[in-house]
A = this chain, B = another copy of it.
Amino acid sequence: MEQDALDRAFMALADPIRRAMVARLSRGDATVNELAEPFAITKQAVSKHIQVLEHAGLVTRSRDAQRRPVHLDAAALERLTAWIDRYRLIAESRFRQLDELLGAGPSEHEPS
């Protein structure tokens, strides 16, 4: 995943309205009006939020008559967790090594 795509994906999730949309979409595709319903903002603003999600690669859209249903791309979410986990696991493995060094592990570093 390129830097730019990561920029846009994390930025997209940095907004509570867009996260709520992701939560809603996890349960199934929805139209702009359906996604707008829980929020006290104009439909145009909702449309912009969806475009942000789309440009971030987190959702895709199709056409069904006048409707433009939004579809969550689970694979894109997976790429985000992959980025985070990559560094999380490195950090955690460092902690484990430190624990072993300091702790009661059966090791050749054992004093006396």
Contacts and interface: CB of A to CB of B under 8 A. Distances in A.
A90 to B, nearest CB: 4
A27 interface: yes
Contacts of A90: 26-27
A6 interface: yes
A43 interface: no
A59 to B, nearest CB: 11
A74 to B, nearest CB: 4
A87 B26 contact: yes
A72 interface: yes
B91 A26 contact: yes
Interface string A1-44: 00100111011011110010011011110000000000000000
A66 interface: no
Given A6-B16, A14-B10, A28 B94 contact: yes
B14 A14 contact: yes
A95 B75 CA distance: 12
B88 A84 contact: no
